Amino acid sequence: MTGAASQKGAPHVAQGQLPPSLRTFVRRHLVTAADLEVLLLVHRERRPWTPTAVAKELRIHADQARGILSRLIASGLVQQDGDDYHYRPKEVGLTEAVEELVAFYPAYRVAIISLIFADRSDSMRDFSEAFRLRDDE
């Protein structure tokens, strides 16, 4: 964890700001809050997971779990062996980023989830702006 001091196990964040490395990781690898929850689950319980088991554990639809696991594979965070999915980052940098996420999440849950939603709403706003009719047109 770069530059973050620990206080009772939770990192200290000056003025409520998340570290740039964590912000970058969240923006690049997590599309929804459910992606975050699946990643935290497979990280916490390092065992083989099926989409059905993930869905049951997190109370989501199995198709949604399958889609999230596929995104996590594409991000290099999870690997698939047959029907099973495992937390197995492809790069050391990803492992370190997930460890930073895990360290910050308990104390900064709202900030992390807000970051996920902020990026989504910014993208939607940019998309809708492209189709907005202007008075000067």
Tell me the CATH number at 46.
1.10.10.10
What pLDDT digit, counting tens, does each position of 109-131 carry? 999 999 998 855 444 444 445 55
57 belongs to a structural domain? yes
What pLDDT digit, counting tens, does each position of 45-91 carry? 999 999 999 999 999 999 999 999 999 999 999 999 999 999 999 99
**What confidence score (pLDDT) does residue 133 get?**
58
- Burial label, 64 (beta-carbon count in 10 A; 0-12, 13-18, 19+): middle
Evaluate if pTM is beyond 0.85.
no
42 belongs to a structural domain? yes
Q: How many structural domains are present in the chain?
A: 1
Domain housing 114: 31-124
**What confidence score (pLDDT) does residue 71 get?**
97
